[in-house]
Amino acid sequence: MESTSHSETGHAEHATPIVYVRVYFFLIVMMFLTIAASKVPLGPFNNVVAMTIALAKATAVVLWFMQVRYGTRLTWVWASLGFIWLSLLFGIMGDYFTRAVLEASGWTR
């Protein structure tokens, strides 16, 4: 059986253990940042800060622990489509959750 190199097959190297350790410590720091941000009264920006931190943590998990960072272009397409689908679902839920508020305030026709 003939051996092929990674450059011939189009697959990149996988993450080294030190990369996993660094991502792990990044997630630990982000967890403490989440806890600290929850203690600070930021008014209407609490949700924005919390979602930004959550997005950073989710990106780290998807890129390194789920191996998307070292995947093929098709892997990137499917991972992107998952996030697009999630944003569409959140948009639809936002519409449903705000209908009662809009009806109570008289903004509906």
Using left for φ > 0, alpha for ψ between -120 and 50, and beta otherwise, residue 12 falls in: beta
CB atoms inside a 10 Å sphere around CB 32: 9
pLDDT, the chain, mean: 85
Using left for φ > 0, alpha for ψ between -120 and 50, and beta otherwise, residue 106 falls in: left
Side-chain-side CA neighbours of 39 within 13 Å: the count stands at 6
Residues 19-53 have pLDDT tens digits of 999 999 999 999 999 999 999 999 989 999 999 99
